[in-house]
Amino acid sequence: MYQNILVPTDGSEHAERGVEHGLTLAAEHGARLHVLFVVDETTYGTTPALSSYELFMDKIADQAEDVAEEIIEDATEQGIEATMTVLRGTPHREILHYAEDNDIDLIVMGKRGATGVEPPHVGSVTDRVLGSADVPVIPV
């Protein structure tokens, strides 16, 4: 039923629940798992205020890559074909663009991310993806 499953993550505990569910669904359906980490430029800014801005953003991107690589290792151990991408931008926009550009047919993501919100609410990124995605979205 699913061929390409996208699991966006920000490395938080909440996002990890979405990753685990995405791994399970990818294994059940023989789907390719796409792991996406978006370095949120709305949090860190988009224009350099200091000369060290690019170094700072590179450090965050390296940390994001480490998180994504761990997920890829888990997928590989389970026999799941997987790929990872680290992007910079506004998370919900990058998730939606990635889904469209990569023939994603399911997005599985945590209900809340690193910023967290109190239950039963969903986080703003999840809410925006739910409201705008052209494919099914499972918030976990």
Domain ranges of the chain: 4-139
- Number of Cβ within 10 Å of residue 91's Cβ equals 26
pLDDT in tens, 44-64: 555 555 557 677 777 778 788
Give Cα 52 distance to the centre of its chain. 26
SS (H, E, C) 67-100: HHHHHHHHHHHCCCCEEEEEEEECHHHHHHHHHH
pLDDT in tens, 84-128: 999 999 999 999 999 999 999 999 999 865 454 455 557 889 999
Angstrom distance (rounded) from CA 35 to CA 9: 7
CATH of 4-139, one of 3.40.50.880, 3.40.50.300, 1.25.40.80, 3.40.50.620: 3.40.50.620
